[in-house]
């Protein structure tokens, strides 16, 4: 390792989580405007969104090979720079098929970046006697809030998506280059040839299913919350962005309070409560015809999704494994499929019926999380 203190390793890794969250929420904050500018219906837009998971899935084995042969900090930098480059390109995609190609590479680069920063996070965690994994996810959430808030300003000042996303891309690229020197210098584990496509170990499958359900709910909000406000409730672009900010603030606050809640009530109860909050939030959204009440639904949903992944990782880490880092990567990879595969399906359901029905279906996934959390039999206290 290079001569850097654990605190600086932690800060550097947190910065890359910030870059990931800020970049992604910058894109999602401009989705309603880009969809309208291309005159796409829900089904067509759902097809475009599907290009992201296609890029992710096809990149998985390639990313696994890279992490087996090269340092995670090197892959992290390459993935981050690619991620920022494609982010800038998204704003300049004036044709539907061009946007589809860029979304394919956005999914690929995001997979490359996220797997490597999580590998870095697992390495940094070993340098601390206390848990710090949830703090990285809290940083991602705060970055998402900041990106959404900045997106609102760009919409308010009528800054077109092209210049907005280009500016964000350039700044994030400079930051990633600056903090690369403080990243953890991990040597690749040539003896551990992980297969990204392998199913999680049997003891991890329950956590993977919870993670899948949670991430499906989370990314539905990222990709469709603004469109729901615009299309179903006929709100303005600025109102749609505010709604997304409400969701991100709630998720950020939930993650900041999560450790305290887990200490007081236990992780299993918090996970079950999270599922109930998700269901309540989506139910209010589906039944409401008023924007302020829909904001309340977004708030409950944000609180519900806030702490699931950090706590699932915490529980999964208590299962004895020869390689806990690889096991956590397996869990997060399956969950990440939910993050990307379900939201495109929302468009098809919405086109065939309505966006309200699509959100009602996602509400059921919150109840699925409640059911799965009751099946956890590992010591959590």
228 CB-near residues (< 8 Å, 6+ apart): 285, 294, 355, 359
146/64 same-domain check = yes
pLDDT in tens, 84-139: 999 999 999 888 899 999 999 999 999 889 878 877 887 887 787 766 777 888 89
232: domain range? 203-381
157/223 same-domain check = no
Instruction: Tell me the range of 25-34, 126-135, 170-179, 314-323 where mean pLDDT is highest.
Output: 170-179
137 CB-near residues (< 8 Å, 6+ apart): 17, 255, 309, 310
Is residue 356 within 8 Å of residue 282, measured between CB atoms? Answer: no
Counting the structural domains of the chain, the total is: 2
DSSP secondary structure of 289-353: -SHHHHHHHHHHHHHHHSSHHHHHHHHHTTS--S-HHHHHHHHHHHHHHHHHHHHHHHHHHHHHS
Query: Is the pLDDT confidence value at 249 over 70?
Result: yes
Report the pLDDT averaged over residues 286-311: 91
156/239 same-domain check = no
Closest C-alpha among 250, 220, 162 to residue 339? 220
174/212 same-domain check = no
85 CB-near residues (< 8 Å, 6+ apart): 109, 169, 173
Q: How far is CA 308 from CA 82, 183, 342, in A?
A: 28, 26, 18
- CATH number, position 58: 1.20.1250.20
Q: Please, where are the H alpha helices in the chain?
A: 6-29, 31-37, 42-69, 72-90, 96-125, 133-156, 161-179, 205-231, 237-265, 267-287, 291-305, 308-316, 324-352, 355-374
Q: How far is CA 320 from CA 45, 76, 121, 182, 324, in A?
A: 43, 28, 19, 31, 8
Query: Is the pLDDT confidence value at 77 over 90?
Result: yes
**Structural domain contains residue 173:** yes
120/266 same-domain check = no
178/223 same-domain check = no
Where is pLDDT greater, at 23 or 347?
A: 23
**Structural domain contains residue 255:** yes
Report the pLDDT averaged over residues 17-24: 95
Q: How far is 97 from 101, CA to CA, in rounded Å? A: 6
Q: How far is 59 from 257, CA to CA, in rounded Å? A: 35
By mean pLDDT, which of 43-47, 77-81, 127-131 is the weakest? 127-131
268/336 same-domain check = yes
178/244 same-domain check = no
Q: How far is CA 102 from CA 50, 255, 343, 376, 381, in A?
A: 12, 31, 18, 40, 45
Residue 273 exposure: Cα atoms within 13 Å on the Cβ side? 15
3-state secondary structure of 104: helix
The DSSP symbol for 375 reads: T
Q: Among residues 182, 217, 232, which one ends one of the domains?
A: 182
The whole-model pTM stands at 0.74
20/92 same-domain check = yes
Average pLDDT over the chain reads 84
60/152 same-domain check = yes
Report the pLDDT averaged over residues 186-211: 67
351/251 same-domain check = yes
Closest C-alpha among 205, 363, 369 to residue 272? 369
Give the pLDDT band (50/70/90) at residue 192: low
* pLDDT value for 381: 43
Q: Among residues 116, 147, 182, which one ends one of the domains?
A: 182
Residue 101 exposure: Cα atoms within 13 Å on the Cβ side? 8
Query: Is the pLDDT confidence value at 326 over 80?
Result: no
């Amino acid at each position: 390792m290079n001569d850097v203190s654990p605190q600086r390793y932690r800060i550097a890794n947190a910065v890359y989580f910030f870059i990931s969250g800020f970049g992604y929420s910058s894109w999602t904050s401009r989705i309603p405007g880009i969809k309208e500018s291309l005159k796409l219906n829900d089904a067509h837009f759902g097809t475009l969104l599907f290009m992201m998971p296609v890029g992710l899935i096809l990149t998985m084995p390639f990313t696994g090979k890279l992490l087996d042969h090269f340092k995670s900090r090197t892959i992290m930098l390459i993935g981050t720079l690619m991620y920022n480059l494609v982010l800038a390109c998204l704003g300049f995609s004036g044709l539907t098929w061009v946007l589809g190609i860029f979304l394919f590479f956005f999914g690929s680069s995001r997979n490359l970046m996220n797997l490597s920063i999580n590998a870095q996070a697992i390495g940094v965690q070993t340098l601390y006697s206390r848990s710090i994994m949830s703090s990285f996810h809290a940083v991602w959430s705060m970055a998402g809030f900041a990106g959404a808030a900045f997106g609102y300003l760009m919409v308010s000042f009528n800054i077109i998506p092209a210049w907005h996303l280009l500016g964000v891309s350039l700044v994030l690229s400079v930051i990633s280059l600056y903090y690369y020197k403080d990243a953890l210098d991990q040597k690749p584990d040539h003896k551990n040839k992980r297969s990204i496509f392998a199913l999680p170990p049997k003891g991890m499958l329950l956590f993977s299913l919870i993670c899948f359900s949670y991430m499906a709910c989370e990314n539905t909000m990222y990709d469709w919350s603004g469109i729901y406000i615009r299309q179903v409730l006929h709100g303005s672009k600025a109102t749609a962005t505010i709604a997304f900010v409400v969701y991100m603030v709630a998720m950020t606050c939930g993650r900041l309070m999560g450790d305290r809640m887990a200490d007081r009530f236990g992780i299993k109860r918090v996970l079950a409560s999270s599922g109930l909050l998700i269901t309540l939030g989506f139910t209010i959204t589906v039944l409401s015809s008023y924007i302020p009440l829909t904001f309340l639904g977004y708030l409950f949903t944000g609180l519900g999704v806030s702490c699931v992944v950090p706590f699932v990782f915490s529980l999964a880490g208590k299962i004895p494994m020869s390689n806990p880092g690889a096991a956590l990567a397996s869990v997060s990879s399956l969950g990440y499929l939910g993050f990307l595969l379900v939201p495109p399906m929302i468009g098809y359901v919405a086109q065939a019926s309505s966006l309200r029905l699509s959100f009602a279906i996602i509400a059921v996934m919150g109840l699925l999380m409640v059911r799965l959390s009751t099946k956890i039999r590992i010591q959590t206290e």
